[in-house]
Amino acid sequence: MERMTESAKAVVDHFGDQIVFINVMRNMSVSCDCEGTAAAPVVTPNVGILASLDILAIDQASVDLVYAMKEEDHHDLVERIETRHGLRQLSYMKELHMGNDKYLLIDVDHDDQQISLEDAVKDVVPFTK
C-alpha cells in the first residue's frame, strides 16, 4: 500500500491544484477493476458519485460510506478491505500530508445541503443478481 500511495503523491505533487478527484461508487466488487471479466461479482449497493479537490478527503469519505452501509450490504467489501490492509493507504496518505481526512458531504442533487454518512446511504438499494 505504501508504494501505491507514494506513486499517487508524486502525481499530486506534480499537478498540484490542477487535479479534481472523482470516485464513482457504482457496481462495486471486492475485486480490483484490473481483473476485468475475472473479477468477483458485484455485491455492494450503488452509492453514487463523489468529487473533491482533496485526494485524502474523497478516499476517506468513500470508505466511510461503505462502512456506513448495513452489515449485509458491506460485509464482503469490508472484509476484503480489512484483510488486505486497505485502510493503510488512508493512514499513510495522512502521514505524507496528502490532504485532510475531515470532510463535509454535500448533496448536489438537493440544493447543496450538507448530509451525514447515514443519510447518504439510507436509500441505497441492496445489490441483487
In angstroms, the CA 100 to CA 93 distance is: 9
What residue ranges do the domains of the chain occupy?
A: 2-121
Question: Comparing 31 with 58, which gets the higher pLDDT?
Answer: 58
CB 74 within 8 A of CB 25: no
Element of type H or E holding 72: helix 71-83
Average pLDDT of the chain is: 92
**pLDDT digit string, tens, across residues 55-89:** 999 999 999 999 999 999 899 899 999 999 989 99
pLDDT: which is higher, 126 or 129: 126
What confidence category does residue 129 fall into, taking pLDDT thresholds of 50, 70 and 90? Answer: low
